[in-house]
Each structure stands twice: as C-alpha cells, then as structure tokens.
Amino acid sequence: MSKKIYFGTNLKMYKNIHDTVSYLEDLTRLTADLNRDEIELFVIPSYTSLPDAVKISRRELVHLGAQNMCWEEQGQFTGEISPLMLKELGLDLVMIGHSERRHVFRETDYEENKKVLCSLEHGFTTLLCIGETEQEKEYSISNEILRTQLIAGFHGVSTDYAKKIWVAYEPVWAIGVNGKPASVEYANEKHGVIRKCLVELFGEEAGKLIPVLYGGSVNPGNAERLIEQPEIDGLFTGRSAWQAEAFDKLIRSALKKLGKMV
Ligand code: PGA
C-alpha cells in the first residue's frame, strides 16, 4: 500500500467552542467520502473547545490534537495542561514546539524534548514542529538548525516510538499573515535534510516511515505543487484551512494532483 497523505490544521487561538464544533461538523461531512486508508486528516483546536470537539467528532474520520502540553503529570505549573488531562479527553495527538511556542513563548529545544518524551510515554501520537528563522536562513545555517531541533527534540526517544512520531517542517519566515511561502524546491530540499536526520536517529526502516509535513502559508495556489514533491508527505495548513469548504477543496485538489481521487 502506498504511503498515506497527511492533511492537518492548527486552529491556533482562533475559533470559540461554537465555531470549532461547526467547523468540525462541516469538515467531517464534506470529507466523509475520502478514503481514510489513503489520507490522515487532523484538526488541532483550542483547549477550551476540546471537550466539545471530542464529543461531536467522528475520530475515525478526523483526528483531534492539542496545541501544547506540559512535561509533568501534575504539580506547580500554573497555566499548563497535563498529559493526564489530555488523556482524560481521549485525544489522538499532541503538537509540540510550534513556531509560536518557540518564538513567542521562548520554548527551548530542551523543553520540547521533555514534552516529546512525556507525550510519547503517555501514548499520544506526537507531532514535533521544527523550522529555521529568516536570519538563520540568511546565515545559511538552516540545515544545522533543523538537525539540532530534531536531534535535541528526539533525544532519548527509542526507535520503538517511531511509529507514533510525526514531524512538521514550518520555516518561521513562511508562517502566518506576514509569511512568504517557501518555494517548493526549497521545501523539498529541506524535507530531504529532515529525512536523512530521521534515518540517522531511528534507522533506515523506522526513519523512512515517519511522516514529514510541510507548513507555512500553504494555500490553494501552492498546495498541489508542494504535495507532489517526493519528500513531502503532507500539508499542515493554517489560514487556508480555517473554512471547512476551502480546506476540503485544497485536500481534493492535492489528492487529484497525486492521481488519488475522482
Ligand atoms: P499558515 O500557518 O498556514 O497560516 O501560515 C501555518 C502554521 O502555523 O502551522
């Protein structure tokens, strides 16, 4: 069977409970006919929307994740969310190290590593986000930065966990309203660097199977070209996915490009 194609969105600090629920209902209905042996679809809503999202979601169709998580189960960590609290909700996925966590909230690779270990130990599929800043790109140290984020982020993670790991490559300069999307050639090249590093860390067999998604200004104009790049396993989309109809269209056009659907 060919590799699955991944499509996901992080709703960031947008959409209240009501809007999240109707978004999920629409997205589930619109995409229900897509063969889940071929695609993996996931949405990462705000914490406050998660309990309702869990109640109304058909998880075999749309997986649900959390945007962040503490590395401890309980304690003096005001404002944090414990893995046990997320387990209580029965989530599928935890995202670690999104660019905004790293750059707005100053999280370090060391902290991301503690979160990754904790998330995997608690049974969550763990999506580690990595990406270089504009300055790091200008200094031509992007590859070193990506390798550092992977090596540090997965420090101490045994190969047994590889099946539960996803990676998103999101260049910081490509994300959000002021972002410029990476060229498909640049994205594909960096995905190659990431793949090589994952193979070094987890071995040939396991390292090759870890899905690596591209994110950062994915839009209807570049989605098809990005997804057809050999090293890109999926699209992690922000703004262009926040209307269910638009996301459904983007997914379908990408799949069509790959010859995967009607
Ligand atoms: P964007 O967000 O698609 O709106 O650039 C991507 C992300 O932050 O994951």
Residue 211 vs residues 143, 177, 232: alpha-carbon distances, Å: 18, 26, 8
Atom of ligand 1 nearest to the CA of 100: 8
Calculate how far, in angstroms, residue 239's C-alpha sits from the geometric centre of ligand 1: 6
The domain over range 5-257 is classified in CATH as 3.40.50.300: no
Active site annotation includes 100: no
What average pLDDT does the structure give for the chain? 97
Ligand 1 centroid, distance to 160 Cα (angstroms): 30
Q: From ligand 1's centre to the CA of 162, what distance in Å?
A: 25
- Among candidate residues 98, 100, 112, 136, the one labeled active-site is 98
Catalytic residue status for 170: yes
Nearest protein CA to atom 7 of ligand 1, as residue? 238
pTM here is 0.97
Q: Is the CB of 175 under 6 A from ligand 1?
A: yes
DSSP string, 138-178: HTT-HHHHHHHHHHHHTTT--GGGGGGEEEEE--GGGSSTT
Domain locations along the chain: 5-257
Ligand 1 close to Cβ of residue 10 (< 6 A): yes
User: 251 Cβ partners below 8 Å, 6+ apart?
Assistant: 7, 31, 34, 39, 41
Sign, CA torsion 156/204/65/216: positive
What is the pLDDT tens value at each position of the chain, 262 positions in all? 578 999 999 999 999 999 999 999 999 999 999 999 999 999 999 999 999 999 999 999 999 999 999 999 999 999 999 999 999 999 999 999 999 999 999 999 999 999 999 999 999 999 999 999 999 999 999 999 999 999 999 999 999 999 999 999 999 999 999 999 999 999 999 999 999 999 999 999 999 999 999 999 999 999 999 999 999 999 999 999 999 999 999 999 999 999 986 4
User: If 0-12 CB within 10 Å is exposed, 13-18 middle and 19+ buried, where does residue 8 land?
Assistant: buried
